[in-house]
Structure 1
């Protein structure tokens, strides 16, 4: 095997590991020296696998390999490196832990590994019967382990699918708005109509709320950009609310002011072309004087308790 490939592969793992180890002391107050050794079983195993796969991939590249196996080795190397990196570093966010980093890195890693696993199954099926002695025993044991992992994983997929479909009165569907047919047909119709009349320059304003609520639903489903929806998620993405704290206050003013000039100024400030007035806006901001919106535009959609104003810009 090409020796420089091993050196490159080794450095690609060793350098990040030492960087992680040395930066823990000045930047992580809770870090202890023993943590390095406690993390070794995981980081060491992933590191060794990464070194092996990267070295083999580089060696095959130097020899001019251009086949399916080489492509799979490349995918596997990237996947292992993603897993290895997520064990060392995480992006600091609102939660202060590695949860979201694991989500973002593990998802692509497992997608890549699923492709690698499929190719590996093909290779085993084609060449496994030729193995003899200890190699055959290792192959059989590995197969049994893989089968246990696969079938134990399949249980969750099947059980969760059955549970969710039987617990729902809607039945299986790819329509993410189907639940609104029972809960709020007026809102579904308003969303559909907004999507039909929306233009590329449109900007929509509706009530601001917490994460995993129904606030921001019309902007989210119609695809028309909204000024602000789930403020909690915005804090997660930006790190704080400095960039949009004024926006939340301005949205409240848009719905509560009785001053025509102030309303017109705020709508111009954000180039708002659509204003939603529905049950969420009324419950969030109280009594809303819709006559002001009438003077600045027209009611283009009225669906039950939902009124959508098109603002002249």
Structure 2
């Protein structure tokens, strides 16, 4: 039965799949194959027991049972090579712990992993500051928008849990499907306007429309829009968190009060 379920889960995406934003069966394969591996694992464990130790297996020739047990042990040993080497490689070699003079301690907090790569330290420190002064997730932040799988955008929400107005459009479109355009509307364009426009009346109208509390101007925003794009914020809005050249601006007195300032 378990083998039949595993085979069914494996073969089903060959004919039926969820047509998502990619238009291919890739995500259906992921979801079904994960379950198939678990089912096959359970079936394999019982199959080995049936061949080697179950009462019914005593009817098999000893050589057959010995060979079955040896093959199962070999398959298990070969399968354990990957986790043994991959865990070490991921935890120490790829993370840089083997080459740094002050290795980063092991932790369940994924935040510090950002600053071991190309992520800007000042951005990280400013974001961590915001997470300490803004309680919970009762706020809306604006930051630059870019494609999916880019750690330099969507970073405020990822590190703090505080909602951002919009980011990672590829993922948003994929999971929202046909409702994406209606739900998202002109958010990406409006975020660009906030950073690029010099007309404060237009910017303020966007802030009011989405109830934006904080605007982030960090390394990504500076690289994308240029340093001059920040002057309008420096002239009009108070800074609630700053690290080097990375700053969070409060858009209203209420946002300033929310940050305890």
Shorter-chain TM-score: which interval? 0.7 to 0.9
Cα distance in 2 for residues equivalent to 1:170 and 1:232? 33
Which residue in the other structure is 2:106 paired with? 173
Structure showing the higher helix proportion among its residues: 1
1:186 corresponds in structure 2 to 122
Structure 1 gap segments, 5+ residues each: 1-52, 54-72
Match of 2:147 in 1: 210
1:185-210, CA deviations, whole angstroms, 9 ceiling, x for partnerless residues? 32222222222223332111111112
Correspondent of 2:88 among 149, 157, 162: 162
SS at match of 2:54: helix
Structure 2 unmatched ranges of 5 or more: 99-104, 255-261
Per the TM alignment, residue 220 of structure 1 is displaced from its structure 2 partner at its CA by 1.1
Larger RCO (CA under 8 A, 6+ residues apart): 2
2:131: which partner in 1?
A: 195
How many residues align structurally?
Answer: 238
TM-score, normalization by structure 1: 0.63
Larger radius of gyration: 1
Hey, what's the Cα distance between the residues in 2 that align with 1:250 and 1:233?
Answer: 19
Whether 2:159 is the aligned partner of 1:221: answer: yes
Please say if residues 258 and 289 of structure 1, whose CA atoms lie closer than 8 Å, have aligned partners that are also in contact. Answer: no
Q: Normalising by the residue count of structure 2, what TM-score does the alignment of the two structures yield? A: 0.74
Matches within 5 A, 1:267-282: 267-282=207-222
Give the 3 Å change call, closer, same or farther, for CA 108–202 of structure 1 in structure 2: farther
Cα-Cα RMSD: 3.3
What does residue 252 of structure 1 align with? 192
In the TM superposition, what whole-angstrom CA distance separates every residue of 1:14-43 from its partner, at most 9, and x where no partner exists?
Answer: xxxxxxxxxxxxxxxxxxxxxxxxxxxxxx
Q: Work out whether 1:94 is the aligned partner of 2:13.
A: no
Name the CA distance, whole Å, in 2 between partners of 1:280 and 1:242: 25
Shift of 1:96: 2.7
In 2, Cα distance between equivalents of 1:204 and 1:142: 60
8 A Cα contact 1:79 1:109, kept in partner:
yes
Mapped to 2, the partners of 1:216 and 1:108 lie a distance apart of 30
- Tell me if 1:108 matches 2:44: no
